[in-house]
């Protein structure tokens, strides 16, 4: 039932796999923080059992039934040994003790005793975040550190809903950097190229998107989503919509084609009430290529 309702509401239903997150952390060696009482609702992932339990630590198959029942019985008789957790920010991942966490949650315990090893990092992981959302934060952090755009442009606002296309943006900046070096016959830093890319490529395209009203045809999407779609897949769009002289002309054609119909608008509102609003597809951006 929980898996069904999770799908209907469009929320993450599985535990977060710790190994996928660990490889993106700044520091790979954790620091032992001692024995603590950890809130159960902050334990959202596992090192090895993430495919066997959902986000509420309910087992996904009956093979774990006997082990689960045993843990529940021990809670009222002998008690449990402390579990072992990895900590990243305010989130915790089970190193050992998945069944104890599962039983504790269903028994409505507020906390559980655990040995905690912390990976110091400033990344934020919410209790309901999907793996894609978490990994996207790592990609954005790398992008900002490499470009410095957050410091040089206080109005910086590049946010993706579709997988995080930051590596493609970095490739654009590097291509511009190489062109500038050939034209100016001098060394051009990546940060200098990033500033020029943001001012001469990204912002003008965003202005076109705003003026055309195209964003209204894709509710839930961001300006960055449409920028990536229009600039990174320009050849594909030219094949589909015909030749165009400018991004302004392309934006108007897209607006005429994708303007939301009344029936689609009503369907979207119903899905929003159910907590399962689906984003309009952007070909080539909703999946990793």
Q: Name which of 163, 158, 151, 144 is nearest 223 in CA terms.
A: 158
The pLDDT of residue 34 is 96
Do 67 and 175 lie in one domain? The reply is no
Contact 282, 229 (CB under 8 A): yes
Q: Is residue 124 part of a domain?
A: no
Q: Is residue 285 part of a domain?
A: no
Q: Is residue 208 part of a domain?
A: yes
Compute the distance between CA of residue 52 and CA of residue 132 in angstroms, rounded to an integer. Answer: 19
Do 224 and 159 lie in one domain? The reply is yes
Compute the distance between CA of residue 118 and CA of residue 135 in angstroms, rounded to an integer. Answer: 19
Q: Is residue 176 part of a domain?
A: yes
Do 178 and 231 lie in one domain? The reply is yes
The pLDDT of residue 23 is 92
User: Which tokens is 126 given?
Assistant: 């919410």
Do 135 and 268 lie in one domain? The reply is yes
Compute the distance between CA of residue 141 and CA of residue 125 in angstroms, rounded to an integer. Answer: 14
Of 71, 89, 118, the position where a domain reaches its end is 118
User: Could you give the number of structural domains in the chain?
Assistant: 2
Q: What is the domain range of residue 141? A: 131-273
Of 118, 147, 176, the position where a domain reaches its end is 118
Q: Is residue 197 part of a domain?
A: yes
Contact 114, 36 (CB under 8 A): yes
Compute the distance between CA of residue 41 and CA of residue 109 in angstroms, rounded to an integer. Answer: 10
CA angle centred on 160, ends 159 and 162, rounded to 5°: 175
Looking only at the bridges linking them, the beta strands covering 111-118 and 83-88 are parallel
Contact 88, 33 (CB under 8 A): no
The alpha helices in the chain, defined as continuous H runs, are 2-9, 18-22, 65-76, 98-106, 131-147, 149-152, 166-184, 190-197, 203-212, 223-232, 234-241, 247-258, 262-273
Do 62 and 138 lie in one domain? The reply is no
Compute the distance between CA of residue 162 and CA of residue 287 in angstroms, rounded to an integer. Answer: 7
User: Which tokens is 84 given?
Assistant: 């072992």
Tens place of pLDDT for every residue, the chain, 289 residues?
A: 766 666 655 566 788 999 999 999 998 899 999 999 999 999 999 998 777 788 888 877 776 677 778 887 887 788 889 999 999 999 999 999 988 998 898 888 999 999 999 999 988 898 888 888 898 889 999 999 999 998 999 888 898 876 668 888 999 899 999 999 999 889 999 999 999 999 988 888 888 888 777 787 777 788 898 888 777 666 666 666 666 665 656 666 666 665 544 444 444 444 444 444 444 555 444 544 4
Do 100 and 168 lie in one domain? The reply is no
Do 6 and 99 lie in one domain? The reply is yes
Do 111 and 136 lie in one domain? The reply is no
Q: Is residue 183 part of a domain?
A: yes
Do 216 and 264 lie in one domain? The reply is yes
Q: Where are the beta strands (DSSP E) in 67-175?
A: 83-88, 91-96, 111-118
In what order do the strands lie in the sheet containing 111-118?
A: 16-17, 43-46, 91-96, 83-88, 111-118, 31-39
Compute the distance between CA of residue 17 and CA of residue 215 in angstroms, rounded to an integer. Answer: 34
Do 136 and 248 lie in one domain? The reply is yes
Q: Is 189 left (phi over 0), alpha (psi -120 to 50) or beta?
A: beta
Q: Is residue 280 part of a domain?
A: no
Do 266 and 145 lie in one domain? The reply is yes
The pLDDT of residue 54 is 81
Compute the distance between CA of residue 149 and CA of residue 274 in angstroms, rounded to an integer. Answer: 38
Q: Is residue 156 part of a domain?
A: yes
Compute the distance between CA of residue 197 and CA of residue 134 in angstroms, rounded to an integer. Answer: 26
The 3-state DSSP class for residue 94 equals: strand
Q: Is 280 left (phi over 0), alpha (psi -120 to 50) or beta?
A: beta
Do 94 and 138 lie in one domain? The reply is no
CATH, residue 19: 3.90.1530
């Amino acid at each position: 039932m929980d898996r069904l309702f999770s799908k209907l509401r469009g929320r993450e239903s599985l535990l977060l796999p710790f190994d996928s997150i660990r490889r993106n952390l700044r520091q790979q060696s954790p620091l032992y923080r001692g024995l603590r009482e950890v809130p159960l609702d902050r334990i959202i992932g596992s090192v090895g059992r993430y495919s066997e339990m959902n986000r509420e630590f309910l087992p996904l198959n009956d093979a774990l039934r006997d082990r689960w029942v045993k843990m529940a019985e021990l809670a009222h008789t002998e008690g449990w040994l402390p579990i072992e957790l990895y900590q990243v920010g305010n989130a915790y991942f089970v190193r050992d003790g998945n069944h104890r966490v599962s039983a504790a949650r269903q028994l409505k315990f507020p906390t559980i005793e655990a040995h905690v090893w912390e990976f110091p990092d400033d990344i934020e992981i919410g209790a309901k975040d999907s793996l894609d959302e978490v990994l996207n934060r790592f990609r954005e952090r790398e992008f900002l550190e490499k470009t410095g755009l957050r410091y040089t442009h206080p109005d910086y606002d590049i946010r993706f809903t579709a997988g995080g296309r930051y590596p493609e943006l970095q490739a654009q900046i590097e291509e511009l950097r190489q062109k500038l070096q050939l034209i100016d016959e001098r060394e051009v830093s990546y940060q200098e190229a990033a500033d020029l890319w943001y001012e001469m490529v990204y912002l003008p395209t965003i202005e076109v998107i705003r003026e055309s009203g195209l964003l209204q045809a894709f509710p839930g999407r961001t300006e960055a989503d449409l920028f990536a779609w229009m600039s990174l897949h320009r050849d594909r769009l030219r094949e589909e919509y015909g030749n165009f002289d400018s991004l302004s002309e392309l934006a108007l054609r897209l607006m005429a084609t994708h303007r939301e119909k009344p029936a689609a608008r009503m369907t979207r509102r119903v899905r929003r009430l159910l907590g399962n609003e689906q984003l309009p597809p952007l070909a080539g951006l909703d999946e990793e290529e």
